[in-house]
């Protein structure tokens, strides 16, 4: 049941919509394709909408109140009382000034709400067996169509006519989240763009969470808002790693800091940034993109917090909003679904999402991890925009370094700097750039490979990494 108050609000909105359909031609052309006559509860308003729409389609211009009254008078399916009532409504329609975006947003929400309401009523009618033409199998499609109502006027890019849009796109500086690591900025052409899913692939204990905690810390120092969602470790454990990084204190020594010193260090960090970092813990395999959307709404309402980047630690232990836990679905489909849902969340919230995944058992022992070493589902790399492996060996551990290998890159040519090394300070949960000489021994460092001019056989270097 619709409450009297809500009914009054809806009636006022429907009147505002009709007013602007008459007096605002730009608005009328944008919304008429999405409005159905049945969306209007009042039969008289439904008839007014039909006449407005019919006139615009036939004559290509907005209708006047005088013309609207004449068209209503010419109808043969109305009683004298209905004609009188419609004329009274027409006389109440006056030109008004309202915010354009508010009007479009309100109209879109009204269309969606009415479509869902009518779909539910139709579904109940079908479920009760009162529809001779449709059976219960039609209900999912009816509800799906109602939920998909959206004011999307984009019907494609005209290659010849829209060349100016392309030119502006080519010269527009894309907003990105920069790394504080030189080679990551090189391979991404300056950082992570919005609406993307970025995945670190590594074995257990190699440094997936360390990488994400370090990047989260660096983004916070850029003055940006960071949301870190964890399903592997407690909120306090993630905060401990970030403390070690930002406070420049070994993680083993954090508990030995006097409270005053700890407070002073945190205060010093807060003075360096205008950003905020929120860490939210969910039980393992219990939360999916739907829960994350709810969290974002709560943070927006309660803290006025909108993240500039989201970290999910980590993808394989998320749940899927499409498949129930324990349902009979293979791991390929399940993990691919999670990846697609997270990327959808990145697009919807207009931020980059960074997550991680495990290597397979064979990949864990490999010094040259590949895409085929992605655990559980090859559908994950198919969905990700950027995917790279974090590799360690005894030699690299001795040098306090991690090898990074590009596996997939939609931002740049993945063969440029395909492999490079970064320094790691595990005590302080921090990554750093290595000296250039550390990169020089790596085959795929972006420079030209050396060839033997006689037999054209490529000379290999960094012998431990087999191909």
Task: Quote the pLDDT of residue 358.
Answer: 87
**From CA 232, how far away is CA 317, in angstroms rounded?**
8
Task: Quote the pLDDT of residue 312.
Answer: 96
Q: In this prediction, what percent of the chain has a pLDDT beyond 70?
A: 88
- Name the residue among 389, 399, 405 with its Cα closest to residue 442: 405
Whether residue 340 has pLDDT greater than 50? yes
Whether residue 466 has pLDDT greater than 50? no
Per-residue pLDDT band for 308 (boundaries 50, 70, 90) equals: very high
Residues of the chain with CATH 1.10.860.10: 4-147
What is the rounded average pLDDT of the residues 330-355?
A: 92
**From CA 382, how far away is CA 379, in angstroms rounded?**
5
What is the rounded average pLDDT of the residues 208-220?
A: 96
**From CA 245, how far away is CA 213, in angstroms rounded?**
8
Task: Quote the pLDDT of residue 229.
Answer: 96
Per-residue pLDDT band for 306 (boundaries 50, 70, 90) equals: very high
Task: Quote the pLDDT of residue 142.
Answer: 83
Task: Quote the pLDDT of residue 347.
Answer: 94
pTM: 0.65
Task: Quote the pLDDT of residue 354.
Answer: 96
HSE (CB half, 13 Å, CA atoms) of 295? Answer: 18
- Name the residue among 215, 333, 350, 332 with its Cα closest to residue 277: 215
Per-residue pLDDT band for 310 (boundaries 50, 70, 90) equals: very high
For residue 459, what is the DSSP state? Answer: P
Mean pLDDT value across the chain: 86
- Name the residue among 372, 387, 462 with its Cα closest to residue 421: 462
What is the rounded average pLDDT of the residues 379-403?
A: 90
What is the rounded average pLDDT of the residues 329-343?
A: 88
Task: Quote the pLDDT of residue 443.
Answer: 52
Whether residue 149 has pLDDT greater than 80? no
Q: Is residue 80 within 8 Å of residue 88, measured between CB atoms?
A: no
Q: In sequence order, what E strands does 106-191 have?
A: 176-177
Residue 153 vs residue 28, higher pLDDT: 28
Task: Quote the pLDDT of residue 459.
Answer: 40
**From CA 238, how far away is CA 163, in angstroms rounded?**
48
Q: Enumerate the β-bridge partners of residue 458.
A: 451
The per-residue pLDDT for range 4-30, each reduced to its tens digit, is 556 666 778 888 999 999 998 888 888
Kind of pairing between the strands at 430-433 and 226-230 = unpaired
Whether residue 72 has pLDDT greater than 50? yes
The per-residue pLDDT for range 261-271, each reduced to its tens digit, is 999 999 999 99
Whether residue 210 has pLDDT greater than 60? yes
Give the chain's count of helices (H) and strands (E). Answer: 18, 11
**From CA 400, how far away is CA 423, in angstroms rounded?**
6
H helices of 328-393, in order, are 331-349, 361-364, 379-383
**From CA 11, how far away is CA 51, in angstroms rounded?**
19
**From CA 239, how far away is CA 313, in angstroms rounded?**
13
Q: Which CATH architecture describes the domain 4-147?
A: Orthogonal Bundle (1.10)
Percent of the chain that is helix, strand, coil (3-state, to 5):
50, 15, 35
Q: What is the largest CA-CA distance in the chain?
A: 100
Q: Which of 3-12, 75-84, 130-139, 446-455 has the lowest mean pLDDT?
A: 446-455
Residue 283 vs residue 143, higher pLDDT: 283
Q: Is residue 426 within 8 Å of residue 432, measured between CB atoms?
A: no
Question: Domain 176-440 class?
Answer: alpha beta
Whether residue 367 has pLDDT greater than 90? no
Q: Enumerate the β-bridge partners of residue 82.
A: none
Q: Is residue 22 within 8 Å of residue 32, measured between CB atoms?
A: no
Residues of the chain with CATH 3.40.50.300: 176-440
The two three-digit tokens of residue 3, written as one number: 């409450």
**From CA 51, how far away is CA 63, in angstroms rounded?**
9
Q: Is residue 307 within 8 Å of residue 354, measured between CB atoms?
A: no
Q: In this prediction, what percent of the chain has a pLDDT beyond 90?
A: 51
Q: Is residue 72 within 8 Å of residue 86, measured between CB atoms?
A: yes
**From CA 386, how far away is CA 413, in angstroms rounded?**
11
The two three-digit tokens of residue 440, written as one number: 């020089």
**From CA 192, how far away is CA 11, in angstroms rounded?**
46
Q: Is residue 385 within 8 Å of residue 197, measured between CB atoms?
A: yes
**From CA 355, how far away is CA 312, in angstroms rounded?**
5
Contacts of 78 (CB under 8 A, 6+ apart): 47, 72, 86
Task: Quote the pLDDT of residue 85.
Answer: 92
């Amino acid at each position: 049941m619709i409450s009297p108050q809500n009914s009054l609000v809806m009636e006022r909105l429907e009147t505002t919509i009709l007013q602007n359909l008459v007096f605002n031609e730009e608005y009328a052309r944008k919304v008429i394709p999405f409005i159905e006559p049945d969306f209007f509860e009042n039969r008289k308003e439904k008839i007014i909408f039909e006449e407005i729409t019919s006139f615009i389609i036939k004559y290509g211009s907005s209708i006047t109140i005088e013309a609207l009254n004449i068209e209503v008078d010419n109808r043969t399916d109305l009683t004298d009382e209905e004609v009188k009532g419609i004329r009274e409504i027409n006389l109440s329609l006056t030109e008004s000034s309202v915010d354009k975006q508010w009007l479009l947003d309100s109209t879109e929400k009204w269309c969606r709400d009415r479509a869902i309401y009518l779909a539910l009523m139709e579904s109940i009618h079908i479920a009760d067996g009162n529809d001779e033409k449709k059976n219960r199998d039609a209900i999912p499609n009816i509800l799906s169509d109602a939920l998909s109502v959206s004011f999307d006027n984009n019907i494609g890019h005209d290659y010849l006519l829209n060349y100016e849009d392309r030119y502006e796109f080519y010269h527009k500086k894309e907003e990105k989240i920069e790394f504080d690591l030189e080679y990551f900025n090189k391979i991404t052409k300056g950082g992570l763009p919005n609406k993307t899913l970025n995945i670190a692939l590594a074995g257990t204990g190699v440094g997936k969470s360390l990488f994400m905690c370090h990047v989260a810390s660096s983004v916070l120092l850029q003055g940006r808002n960071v949301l870190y969602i964890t399903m592997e470790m407690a909120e306090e454990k993630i905060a401990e790693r970030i403390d070690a990084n930002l406070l420049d204190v070994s993680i083993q020594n954090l508990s030995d800091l006097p409270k005053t010193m700890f407070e002073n260090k945190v205060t010093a960090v807060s003075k360096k940034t205008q950003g905020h970092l929120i860490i939210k813990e969910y039980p393992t395999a219990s939360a999916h993109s739907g829960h994350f959307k709810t969290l974002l709404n709560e943070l927006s309402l309660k803290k006025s917090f909108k993240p500039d980047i989201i970290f999910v630690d980590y993808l394989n232990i998320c749940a899927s909003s499409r498949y129930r836990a324990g349902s009979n679905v293979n791991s390929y489909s399940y993990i691919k679904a999670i990846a697609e849902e997270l990327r959808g969340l990145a697009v919807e919230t207009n931020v980059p999402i960074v997550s991680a995944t495990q290597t397979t058992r064979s990949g864990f022992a490999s010094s040259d991890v590949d895409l085929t070493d992605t655990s559980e589902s090859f559908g994950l790399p198919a969905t990700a925009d950027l995917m790279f492996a974090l590799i360690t060996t005894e030699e690299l551990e001795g040098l306090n370094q991690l090898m990074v290998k590009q596996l997939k890159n939609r931002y740049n040519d993945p063969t440029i700097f395909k492999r490079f090394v970064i320094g790691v300070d595990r005590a302080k949960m921090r990554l750093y750039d290595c000296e250039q000489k550390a990169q020089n021994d790596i085959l795929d460092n972006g420079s030209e490979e050396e060839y033997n001019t006689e037999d054209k056989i490529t000379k290999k270097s960094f012998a431990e990494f087999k191909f």
